[in-house]
Structure 1
């Protein structure tokens, strides 16, 4: 997408949307608590099992060993999904890192296992029994430290400079030269990332919270290595997204892998620290 020439007249210029009242169709359902989110389609997917994610304790490196024996023997556990038993997986186009890590670790808390059990509490308890061993690699984690190495804008970035800044600044009567910083921020929607998956033969139905259905569908099909027409995504309500739910996330992939492994519906929600 390039912004190197005038866009011309469009519906926004015609004021057909901006400044006019529009009904929020899902507003009454959300404000009364009757909208069903991705984790709540119990009648459509009865007898669902629960998955709980085990995340990487390092940000970059290699998973050298993963002991799941104790977790597999824990009460209520149906399966423990890892990269070694999930089958050959592809990779979608929208995410930089793989959604199920191992043996390579690409970011902190990257999913390395999913414990599936009869109840959420059983899955969470068993997940704490998984023992992971790592070999750390050196990484770059500070934008400030890396700033000096970046001296060229990304290719294709238009020149936004207007006028002579250096001349204007040097001749200004009053100068303020300061560095402003803000803390790290992350999307925190009221509805966490969550998915429920059901297989019917080789066809997958996924209830999820996602802002871009086509991106989610195509990347999930590519990752699972199944025809895209075999994947159905249902996401009628989103409890907040803000861009954080634009792409396929690990909850969706792991729910699909787990449901295929245990041959029953599985729901997965990404935990929050």
Structure 2
């Protein structure tokens, strides 16, 4: 685990890290955290079906520092497969994949928090229902996608609101024919990033376990910079400045090649397919 974390911090290629884990299959099978690292690598490589199969094959148990991690990889592979189905004009298949995120399977070892924001899931459900010609249901989900916190914050813990949810609020307002409210959401992301990117960041307290069991201490100022670059990229993308958005996301991925949020956005909205480090 320690060597894999070192490779991860050094930004080693996904396939190199996967090869390391594959050299020790018995050890990886014994440990939930290593097994999940392998699943995460398949998601990063765009092999979502394989990630989905591996997730379904194991009974995970809760561990300190692992809260929200298994369910996150489950959500990522389900959502990305749903997007693929939408592009292939298979809305019913996409809907089934999205509905499977409503309740986590028991084998993930954790349930869904009642406070979990699902703006992205609701947004894509809205698109699917529109493709199916069920406009009233589409509007219901687009309105659901506009709900929740409308001010971004640094998401250090698994139960913190994620900044990309505000991006999907803006997209949903566009689908509902309200570009003014959409622009407000996108602009608040830009303003937040500009305001906090150079400010020192520290954790005053925590009420749940820290999100990573890292051997090496994290530089919180670097994490804050990545967060601010990411939210500004989302804001500029929403406002139609694709070139500037791409520049911010590229900076995010240079600082953190394992940033799954920027990878998904670049692939889905900017047509960037060469994301494998």
Q: TM-score, normalised by structure 1?
A: 0.23
User: Computing the radius of gyration over CA atoms, which structure comes out larger, 1 or 2?
Assistant: 1
